[in-house]
Amino acid sequence: MKRLFTLLLAIGLLACQQQVAEKKTGLMADSAMVVTAHPLASQTGVAILKKGGNAVDAAIAVQFALAVVFPAAGNIGGGGYMVVRMKDGSVATLDYREKAPAKATTDMYLDKNRDVIPNLSISGHLASGVPGSVDGMVEAHKKFGTLPWKDLVQPAIDLALKGFTLTSREANWFNESRADLIKYNSIKPEFLLKNNWKSGDTVKWIDLGHTLERIRDNGRAGFYEGKTADDIVSEMQRGKGLITHEDLKNYKSVWREPVTGIYKEYKIISMPPSSSGGVCLIQLLKCVEPYPMKSWGFNSAKTIHLMVEAERRVYADRTKYLGDPDFYKVPVKELLDDQYNDERMSTFNPDQATPSAQVKEGKIAGYESEETTHFSIVDSKGNAVSSTTTINGWFGSKVVVAGSGFFLNNEMDDFSAKPGVPNMFGVLGTKANRIEPQKRMLSAMSPTIVEKNGELFMVVGTPGGSTIITSVFQTILNVVEHGMSMQQAVDARRVHSQWLPDIVVPEERAISKSDSLALVKMGHKIVLRKNIGRVDAILVKGGKLEGGADHTRGDDTAAGY
Ligand code: DON
């Protein structure tokens, strides 16, 4: 009966035309390209490149510009990851993920019956980790920057203090979040100055502009010490949060060894833990590599079934084994091993879904046991940056640091508050990702760079919580298996699955009626969703750059020359 219902649901909901990606390419450029979630941030990046800055200089300027023009996700109150590939082929990855405050405890979101208290890790002061973005930008500049620091922060200051116009999406987002912003802020932030924001309104964020001036003039100390730090700590005291002056002073981002893996003639360079992104992405590619997806076709039942079966196994591993490597021994090498992934897929049945209840993490020998934004940049020399940054939920914890004018993250929700209880993205965790003081919460962010035959091929990433990994996975496959242009690969409808809950989640019009029926017959449960991810990517082809900007799902824009 249940099966019949699912079948009928699938027929009813999917009886619309499957999207056939239009034949088109994105913006083409000869020298350099910046693709971000906002036209003004993309223009800021291009201006820095034209001034002679490299891709990392542009990335720093974009990070600060996004904090102003796209405050729902762009940030100085959050954290992120950056993957850099310089023109000589050298690579580096920077982890500027937030950390749990020193006063955080494993059980901090549980009531006396040890049940998770709803919303405590999602909204309000207790939801925030210690921000990493400003330290991350300072570290990136120290290692790779070529233009003066001040020149990279100034464009964001100008946007904040001289003003810019709101897009209609942004105006709506502010209006829709109004009640939450009122609820979680005792001192009215500038974002609430108007009752009803409209597209084309000119806005100035004066407090944020002055905070950026302190960062411009004092670097790290402009955020982690002095007035900004005082404002953060006072904000914490007003809302019974945990972040202290000591936490801020102690925050350090970390350069880590990238994770790499080979898929056919492509080399994947991505983020290691504390993100699960790179490990899971490479595992997924290894799991599907032996199968002829190209002949099965884009989003056919066979292709989706294969991807979903790989995803179940990989997300089960994620739940068990992935966490902050500074606190938990993550078996990265073992998880990326070819034989291990072959073994994981040995139970794959091409005709039948494996119920997630029957899928556990793999055995590792000797082992004890919406909001985010991504940008991709390539400069005229061929240096590339792939960076994803976040305050986690839309407008983060909804708390604005009074006097300093920026949103704080709600990244603490990315920890596992209790084994077996899903977080806001429905993902589970165990000891590997339990809360511990000063630990980084596990991420799915997957800023990635792909090489082909040793040359730069693609720069790619997206927001989307747990769907990040599967969106990046599909975008790569869309180009390398399904022959799409970068823009088509970004526009193409996506399908997500993550082991638990045991469902397949396509965007509307992602799967044809007959393919959805075939999937339901195999035993998959299908639940539609409007949008998955906002991929911003760059493809190198024939000596030119193609920008793929996700402008159907957001304000994302490519700019290049
Ligand atoms: O780090 C993570 O995986 C999440 N905090 C990302 C959140 C996100 O992508 C929200 N955007 N839709």
Buried b (16+ CB within 10 A) or exposed e, 50-77: eeebbbbbbbbbbbbbbbbbbbbbbbbb
Question: Of 372, 373, 389, 475, which is the active-site residue?
Answer: 372
Q: Give the model confidence (pLDDT) of 30-51 as tens digits.
A: 999 999 999 999 999 999 999 9
Residues belonging to the chain: 561
Residue 9: burial class (beta carbons within 10 Å; 0-12, 13-18, 19+): middle
- Of all protein residues, whose CA lies closest to atom 2 belonging to ligand 1? 443
Residue 165, Cβ density class (10 Å: 0-12 exposed, 13-18 middle, ≥19 buried)? middle
| Atom number of ligand 1 nearest to Cα 534 | 12
Asked if residue 394 lies in contact with residue 177, where contact means CB atoms within 8 angstroms, the answer is yes
What is the distance between the alpha carbons of residues 346 and 107, in angstroms, rounded to a whole number?
38
Q: Is the CB of 464 under 6 A from ligand 1?
A: yes
Give distance in angstroms: CA of 400 to centre of ligand 1.
19
The predicted pLDDT at position 546 comes to 98
**Is residue 48 a contact partner of residue 152, using CB atoms and an 8 Å limit?**
yes
Banded model confidence at residue 22, pLDDT cuts 50, 70, 90: low
174 vs 191: CA distance, rounded Å: 7
Mean pLDDT across the stretch 154-165? 98
Q: Residues 391-410: pLDDT tens digits?
A: 999 999 999 999 999 999 99
Residue 10: is its pLDDT beyond 80?
no
What gap in Å lies between CA 106 and CA 58, rounded to an integer? 38
Cβ atoms of 27 and 560 closer than 8 Å? yes
pLDDT in tens, 380-394: 999 999 999 999 999
Hey, which bits of 225-306 come out as E strands? 254-256, 259-263, 266-270
Q: 448: left (phi > 0), else alpha (psi -120 to 50), else beta?
A: beta
Residue nearest (by alpha carbon) to ligand 1 atom 5: 392
pLDDT recorded at residue 9: 45
The arithmetic mean of pLDDT across residues 336-359, rounded, is 97
Nearest partner of 450 among 324, 318, 285, judged by Cα: 285
468 lines ligand 1 (CB under 6 A): yes
* Side chain identity at residue 115, one-letter code: D
Could you count the other beta carbons within 10 Å of the beta carbon of residue 198?
A: 12
Q: What is the mean pLDDT of residues 491-495?
A: 98
Structure tokens at 277: 């992104």
Q: Which atom number of ligand 1 is nearest to the Cα of residue 445?
A: 3
Cα–Cα distances (Å) from 94 to 286, 323, 382, 477, 528, in that order, read 25, 16, 19, 25, 35
372 CB less than 6 Å from ligand 1? yes
Query: What confidence score (pLDDT) does residue 506 get?
Result: 98
Superfamily of domain 1-163+204-360+367-552: Gamma-glutamyltranspeptidase, small (S) subunit (3.60.20.40)
Does ligand 1 come within 6 angstroms of the Cβ of 370? yes
Q: Is 497 left (phi over 0), alpha (psi -120 to 50) or beta?
A: beta
Residue type, 82: M
Residues paired with 496 in a beta bridge: 505
Please name the residue whose Cα sits nearest to atom 1 of ligand 1. 443
Residue whose CA is closest, atom 11 of ligand 1?
Answer: 370
The answer for 114, left when phi > 0, alpha when psi is -120 to 50, beta otherwise, is left
Residues contacting residue 383 through CB under 8 Å, at least 6 positions apart: 54, 55, 56, 84, 85, 86, 87
C-alpha span between 10 and 527 (Å, rounded): 8
- The C-alpha atoms of residue 505 and residue 507 are separated, in whole angstroms, by 7
CA distances from 92 to 78, 153, 318, 387, 522 (A): 21, 22, 23, 12, 43
Is residue 15 pLDDT above 60, yes or no?
Answer: no
Upstream peptide bond of 501 is cis (omega within 30 degrees of 0): yes
Query: Which residues lie below 8 Å from residue 238, measured CB to CB, with a gap of 6+?
Result: 125, 186, 187, 402
Residue having the nearest C-alpha atom to atom 6 of ligand 1 = 465
Sheet holding 455-460, edge to edge: 28-29, 544-548, 537-541, 455-460, 448-452, 266-270, 259-263
| Percent of the chain whose pLDDT exceeds 70 | 95
Q: Given ligand 1 and candidates 98, 425, 446, which is best to mutate, with the most ligand atoms within 8 Å of its CB?
A: 425
Alpha helices in 456-512 (DSSP H): 467-480, 486-491
State the pTM of this model: 0.94
Q: Is 89 left (phi over 0), alpha (psi -120 to 50) or beta?
A: left
- With the most atoms of ligand 1 within 8 angstroms of its CB, the residue from 410, 462, 466, 468 to mutate is 468
Q: What pLDDT does 12 receive?
A: 40
Does the pLDDT value for residue 3 go beyond 80?
Answer: no
Nearest CA to ligand 1 atom 4: 465
DSSP assignments along 400-419, one per residue? B-TTT--BPP-GGGGSBSST
d(CA 178, CA 180): 5
Q: For the chain, how big is the Rg over CA atoms in Å?
A: 22
- H helix or E strand, kind and range, residue 512: none
Which atom of ligand 1 lies nearest, measured to the CA of 468?
A: 9
Residue that is written with structure tokens 């800055």 in the block: 53
What single DSSP character describes residue 433? G
The yes-or-no verdict on residue 7 having pLDDT over 70 is: no
pLDDT > 90: percent of the chain: 93
* pLDDT per residue as tens digits for the range 421-472: 999 998 998 899 999 999 999 999 999 999 999 999 999 999 999 999 999 9
Segment 235-243 shows an average pLDDT of 97
Q: Please say if 354 is a catalytic residue.
A: no
Alpha helices in 322-362 (DSSP H): 332-335, 338-344
Query: Among 183, 288, 270, which Cα is nearest to 461's?
Result: 270
The finding on whether 445 has its CB within 6 A of some atom of ligand 1 is: yes
Is the per-residue pLDDT at 507 higher than 60?
yes
Q: How far is the CA of 17 from the centre of ligand 1 (A)?
A: 30
Question: Which H or E element spans position 284?
Answer: helix 277-288
What is the CB neighbour count within 10 angstroms for residue 367? Answer: 14
What is d(CA 414, CA 103) in angstroms, rounded to the nearest whole number? 17
- pLDDT class for 1, splitting at 50, 70, 90? very low
Q: Does residue 218 have a pLDDT over 90?
A: yes
Residue-wise over 117-143: b if at least 16 C-beta within 10 A, else e? Answer: eeebbbbbbbbbbbbbbbbbbbbbbee
Distance 519 CA to ligand 1 centre (A): 28
